[in-house]
A and B are shown apart, each in its own frame.
Chain A
Amino acid sequence: MNGLAAQAGARSGTPESRVLSGQPSLVGETLLEARDIGKRFGGVQALKAVSLTIRRGEIYGLIGPNGAGKTTLFNVFTGLYPRDSGEVIFAGQSLRLESPHIVAAAGIARTFQNIRLFGNMTARENVMVGRHVRTRCGVFGAILRTAGQRAEERAIRGRADDLLRYVGIADRADSLARHLSYGDQRRLEIARALASEPQLLALDEPAAGMNATETAALRTLIEGLRADGLTILLIEHDVKLVLGLCDRVAVLDYGEKIAEDVPEVVRADPRVIEAYLGTGTH
């Protein structure tokens, strides 16, 4: 997708902002447009014709009460669940959603609500796995250790180290992922996601289970990502974090989008207040 930044990142000593592959020149254009996404689980309509638009360079928040369909929508966007209806246009093209790896290749990377790392691999190896979609060396290259393969391995490794430094856990590179602290695991998962050079980074409740200090640090990290030109989709339970951090916010309730606007407007929206506080006028 954007090989330049990858190559630049592979050399040590480049400014950290170059580690990312965001495209600041395009900020403000539509990156992802979802149209009428529907999803049903058995008798439950988890998503009802949800449409939303994410623009390049923004932090787009997705909030809603428990069971509103946030994670479902997220899993549809990332190819984990097949959708029943609707389509997604990503970076100007219709996004094939049949499998997560295709979505990853298209430029959407994600993290999981309940962190999913490769526990028995080192932190560095976890990030190296994230480079999978952007590299191509196969079995024969590996067996013969061709010059191309060695160069690619060096680049993968260099890039992984850059990303570990970027999220601030370079000193833990050789630790097994399962031995990292909770906060570091979150950071590692973000580094792994960044390794695939996403245009859109989707974070599923990254602050879940974090204390105030960790949340503050996470916030700084996310803001840094935006400053470096990355577009971010953020699902969060912590309404304060979302409203403080996001450029625009969509609110889901019972599988429907009930609001989508800048935080100040959303905060004042009576439907949103009702959904959250359940003033029960219906």
Chain B
Amino acid sequence: METLLQQIINGLTTGSVYAVVALGYTMVYGVIQLINFAHGEVVMIGAMVAFGVITGLAGSGLPASMIVAAGVLAAVPACMAIGYSLERVAYRPLRHAPRLAPLITAIGMSIILQHVALLIWGRNPLAFPQIIANPTVSIGLAEISAVQIAIILLSFLMMGGLSWFVYRTRFGIAMRATAENVQVAGLMGINADRVIAATFVIGAALGAVAGVMFGTYYGIAHYTMGFTLGLKAFSAAVLGGIGNLPGAMVGGLLLGLVEALGTGYIGDLTNLCQWPVVDAWLGERCADGAHFILFGSNYQDVFAFVMLILVLVFRPSGLLGERVSERA
């Protein structure tokens, strides 16, 4: 029981991060109906920049929260700049080209970003300095750490802020109008170029914060981290219904939970020795309480993908989305 509760807490934490990253995918998709393949890389760069700042300030004697805040403040503009250039280089010039073209340039940009990061920050994983005393709070049988609380709160705050921005401000209305129909929005005096660029930039800013959260939570940053994280966040966006903001949030949290619970229990579930029939057949392999585990926690990264495939097979529109199959 306590593991269950603990897994749920852990799942909600990673799920919040996925949700924030997924927002970036879903916003861009909503506006230009294309996947931003390099979004995961933007998140990675955010983590890397924050890592640099936090490591640099670690010995300065400043309070830990201020150091992390400085990390975020450095990461956000850096990522916004990257998000903007991504749109300018990979997407805008190819807006009227065949759909394949921007996808290919985006994947190219993602490879470039990854290897530039490799050049700057090296091949090895970077360990975040342990500056935050991370007290844990017991709730019932499980524990939740201060960092986890901060991540969950901050994520919800950002999701709320974004929803307000998109649904309540003039610019948000322009964004939704552009998503609905670029030409018509243009006729209404909306500068579609600016809206699309802004969408990339806002997504990148969110991604930067997510990168910092992810880095501080796991205490590690690596130039390849954006790939898996991006893939998972995208799966989350599809799960919730791509192009749909609340969907990305729900999808992210759900994916976090599924992953945490799946990783926590798959070993037990696929331990063949627990089934008497198989136990007898396996004989000595199960002797002395030994385990015969088909799939262990090293398959953690598979869950998101399996979920993605299942969603695409059974409900391609996602939990909260509209139809996504080919349009006329």
| Contact-residue size bin, chain A (C-beta under 8 Å from the other chain) | under 10
Return the chain A residue nearest B328 by Cβ: A80
Q: Which residues of B contact A80 (CB under 8 A)?
A: 328
Task: Give A204 to B328 CA distance when docked, in angstroms.
Answer: 15
**A175 CB-CB contact with B under 8 Å:** no
**B312-328 interface bits toward A, Cβ cutoff 8 Å, 1 = contact, 0 = none:** 00000000000000001
Return the chain B residue nearest A80 by Cβ: B328
Task: Give A75 to B327 CA distance when docked, in angstroms.
Answer: 13
Task: Give A81 to B328 CA distance when docked, in angstroms.
Answer: 9
**A73-103 interface bits toward B, Cβ cutoff 8 Å, 1 = contact, 0 = none:** 0010000110000000000000000000000
Task: Give A80 to B325 CA distance when docked, in angstroms.
Answer: 12
Q: Which residues of B contact A81 (CB under 8 A)?
A: 328
**B294-328 interface bits toward A, Cβ cutoff 8 Å, 1 = contact, 0 = none:** 00000000000000000000000000000000001
- B-side binding surface: helix, strand, loop or mixed? loop
Q: Report the minimum CB–CB distance from B184 to chain A (whole Å).
A: 14
Q: Which residues of B contact A75 (CB under 8 A)?
A: 328
Q: Report the minimum CB–CB distance from A99 to chain B (whole Å).
A: 12
Q: Report the minimum CB–CB distance from A123 to chain B (whole Å).
A: 20
Q: Which residues of A contact B328 (CB under 8 A)?
A: 75, 80-81
Task: Give A80 to B327 CA distance when docked, in angstroms.
Answer: 10
Task: Give A75 to B328 CA distance when docked, in angstroms.
Answer: 10
Q: Report the minimum CB–CB distance from A30 to chain B (whole Å).
A: 29
**B175-197 interface bits toward A, Cβ cutoff 8 Å, 1 = contact, 0 = none:** 00000000000000000000000
Q: Report the minimum CB–CB distance from A239 to chain B (whole Å).
A: 26
**A44-84 interface bits toward B, Cβ cutoff 8 Å, 1 = contact, 0 = none:** 00000000000000000000000000000001000011000
Return the chain B residue nearest A71 by Cβ: B328
Q: Report the minimum CB–CB distance from A74 to chain B (whole Å).
A: 11
Q: Report the minimum CB–CB distance from A69 to chain B (whole Å).
A: 15
**B48-59 interface bits toward A, Cβ cutoff 8 Å, 1 = contact, 0 = none:** 000000000000
Q: Report the minimum CB–CB distance from B328 to chain A (whole Å).
A: 6
Within 8 A of B (CB), among A91-117: none
Q: Report the minimum CB–CB distance from B215 to chain A (whole Å).
A: 43
Task: Give A276 to B194 CA distance when docked, in angstroms.
Answer: 40
Task: Give A80 to B328 CA distance when docked, in angstroms.
Answer: 8
Task: Give A65 to B328 CA distance when docked, in angstroms.
Answer: 22
Task: Give A80 to B326 CA distance when docked, in angstroms.
Answer: 11
Return the chain B residue nearest A120 by Cβ: B98
Q: Report the minimum CB–CB distance from B322 to chain A (whole Å).
A: 10
Task: Give A81 to B323 CA distance when docked, in angstroms.
Answer: 13
Q: Report the minimum CB–CB distance from A101 to chain B (whole Å).
A: 13
Within 8 A of A (CB), among B142-195: none
Return the chain A residue nearest B322 by Cβ: A42
Q: Report the minimum CB–CB distance from B323 to chain A (whole Å).
A: 11
Return the chain B residue nearest A75 by Cβ: B328
Return the chain B residue nearest A81 by Cβ: B328
Interchain Cβ contacts under 8 Å between A and B, 3 examples: A75-B328, A80-B328, A81-B328
3 interchain residue pairs of minimum CB distance:
A80-B328, A75-B328, A81-B328
